[in-house]
Structure 1
Amino acid sequence: MRAPENLWVPTYWAMNPAQVPDPVSRFMVQGGGVLPGGAPSDECYLLFGSVRPPALQGDQNGYVTSEELEGLNIPISVVGNFFFTTARLRELRDMISAFLDDEDQ
C-alpha cells in the first residue's frame, strides 16, 4: 500500500464581471444547536442581509413620531446564507482580522 501524497491542484475564483455586488448592512452568526445527548454541534450559520430604509412621510421638517413607527416591522433581505464548521469560521475571522490589520497601517 502506497503512502498518501500531498497533491496541489490549482484553483481560481470564477467571477462573473457583470454581477453587481449586493450591499450588506446586517449580519448574523448562529450556532447549530445541540446534538442528541447534549453535546454542542460544530456548525455555524452566517447570514448577510440588507435593509432598505422605510418610506416614511414625517412632518414638514422630516421628523417621524414614535406613533408612526409603532408596529413597523422592516424586513431584512437575505443576500447570503452560509454554513461553516467552527474551525472554518475561525479561519474566516482570522482572515478578516489580518485584512483589517493591514488596512489600519
Structure 2
Amino acid sequence: MEFSEGLTVLSPAEASAVLAEAGRQHLPMFVLATDGRVDRETFFHVVIVWPDAVSPAPDGADEDFRTAQEVLRDITESLTDPVTTNGTPKRVSVFIAVAPGP
C-alpha cells in the first residue's frame, strides 16, 4: 500500500487495513477516535499524544526531534488562532512523553 497526500474516505474495514499497513511500515500514526460522534465539538478539540519519544534521539536525530516539536507547537498555535481558522479556532492539546535515550 502506498500512502499519498490527500483525503480518502474509507469503510471501517478499509481503515483497519490502513492502520495495520502503517504499523507494518513503522509509520507514525495519528488516530482520531470519536466514538462515532461527528458533531462540531468533536472536531474542534483535538488531543495529540506522542507517548514514546526519546531524547537524545537515537542515530543523532536530535535536530529532527526538535523540528518535530516545533511542528507540533506550530499546529497548536495556528489551529487556536481565530484569524488563521477563519473565526473557528480549535482547541488542540499536544503531549510528548520523553524517555531518556541510550
Taking structure 1 as the reference length, the TM-score comes to: 0.30
Taking structure 2 as the reference length, the TM-score comes to: 0.31
Which structure has more helix as a fraction of its residues? 2
Q: Which has the larger radius of gyration?
A: 1
Higher relative contact order (CA 8 A, sep 6+): 2
